[in-house]
Amino acid sequence: MSDQNGSTERHANIYDVANLAGVSHMTVSRVLNGHPNIRESTRERVEAAISELAYTRSSAARALVTRRVMRIGVLVDRAVEYGPSSTLRGIERAAREDGYAVITTSGDDGPERGIERLHAQGVDAICIISPRVSSLPMVSRSLRVPSVIIQTEPIPGSHCVAVDQLAGARAAVEHLQGLGHERILHLAGPDDWFESRLRREVWAQAVGGRLAAELAAEGDWGADSGYTVGRSDPRIDEVTAVFAANDQMALGLMHGLADRGLRVPDDISVVGFDDLPESAHYLPPLTTVRQDFDLVGARAVEMLLHLVRTEREAAPGPRTAVLVEPELVVRRSTAAR
């Protein structure tokens, strides 16, 4: 690339950053690699110099220095569903910002084989997005690099990151109860999903054992299953509110209620979970629980890279669980009883 005078533009290197910041190039390298033993004032000078010079590192050079391949492997189960796919995008964005590429594989032919594929391609760390109980890989012996599981339910011996499902479900149910609703039907997701089990557990505790036994309907995360409950389930006539375990089922539910001749929220209130981009445009706009999947992805990458940088491989030791707080978003699908 040439400037207006025809001279070739030279990209800044690590020595330029060091000269501008008044430190050694080794100090710049430590800042770039997230070394903990750096004075905050020094770190700020180096970061300011990086910004002023628009300095970027060559990933190949970085790999040579750090002896890393600069790749994170992700094993993702049910990538077509909103939660896993959104979490994967969050991981990809966060990894890219730190100079890492992401290699993705499914566990369709068995999670252990998926893990082996990632190892074979060469990765510095592995993230496992495993929302289903049956698919949670028991692969602790197979993991040869640092790993993090995206999962709310504590997994013994594993580092975990997830949205706090218990807090989200509690916010949804307490919102309905605060509006005077006592008989609340729960449209649950498949029982094989951790998130579905946790949301149902909170609802059951809130409404009580007897009502929980009477007022639980199971869907499959899809809008069609929600429509069937809204249109045909006789228990709809016995309740004043529904807590749907995701927004897609809530959409189908509201369609079914409309075909049944019931108005939302005049006749029955509806709360969903996820805050899909379309939820604000449902008729009426849906009250729901927002999950910050971008932040989950960022926290997972942050934890993985910390494990990589401190060389805490798959060795036994203290395990970490990070929970991201959800947010109740109140719209017009709920009203006082």
Q: What amino acid occupies position 323?
A: L
The answer to whether residue 150 is domain-embedded is yes
The answer to whether residue 64 is domain-embedded is no
Question: How many other C-beta atoms lie within 10 A of the C-beta of residue 92?
Answer: 18
Q: Note whether 211 and 299 are same-domain residues.
A: no
Domain with 20 in it? 14-56
CATH number for 258: 3.40.50.2300
Q: Note whether 51 and 135 are same-domain residues.
A: no
Q: Note whether 98 and 29 are same-domain residues.
A: no
The answer to whether residue 265 is domain-embedded is yes
The answer to whether residue 47 is domain-embedded is yes
Q: Note whether 225 and 152 are same-domain residues.
A: no
Q: Give the pair of three-digit tokens for residue 24.
A: 């050694």
The answer to whether residue 263 is domain-embedded is yes
Q: Note whether 261 and 286 are same-domain residues.
A: yes
Q: Note whether 266 and 315 are same-domain residues.
A: no
- pLDDT tens-place values along the chain, 337 residues long: 444 444 445 678 888 899 999 999 888 878 877 676 788 899 899 989 988 888 876 554 555 455 667 899 999 887 677 888 999 999 999 999 888 999 999 877 777 788 889 988 889 999 998 777 766 645 555 677 888 999 877 666 778 999 999 999 999 999 999 999 999 999 999 998 989 999 999 999 999 988 898 999 999 999 999 999 999 999 999 999 999 999 999 999 999 999 999 999 999 999 999 999 999 999 999 999 999 999 999 999 999 998 888 865 444 455 678 999 999 999 999 999 8
Q: Note whether 110 and 186 are same-domain residues.
A: no
Q: Note whether 210 and 265 are same-domain residues.
A: yes
CATH number for 48: 1.10.260.40
Question: How many other C-beta atoms lie within 10 A of the C-beta of residue 304?
Answer: 27
Alpha helices in the chain (DSSP H): 14-21, 25-32, 40-53, 59-66, 82-97, 111-121, 165-178, 194-207, 209-214, 223-232, 247-260, 293-309
The answer to whether residue 337 is domain-embedded is no
DSSP state of 282: S
The number of domains in the chain is: 3
Q: Note whether 170 and 281 are same-domain residues.
A: yes
Gyration radius of the chain over CA positions: 24
CB-CB contact of 211 with 239 (8 Å): no
Distance from C-alpha of 229 to C-alpha of 252, rounded to nearest angstrom: 9
Q: Note whether 123 and 235 are same-domain residues.
A: no
Distance from C-alpha of 26 to C-alpha of 109, rounded to nearest angstrom: 45
Q: Note whether 180 and 194 are same-domain residues.
A: yes
The answer to whether residue 172 is domain-embedded is yes
Q: Note whether 102 and 199 are same-domain residues.
A: no
The answer to whether residue 44 is domain-embedded is yes
Question: How many other C-beta atoms lie within 10 A of the C-beta of residue 22?
Answer: 11
* Contact partners, residue 291, CB within 8 Å, separation at least 6: 83, 86, 163, 168, 273, 274, 275, 324, 326
pTM check: above 0.95:
no
The three-state secondary structure class of 189 is coil
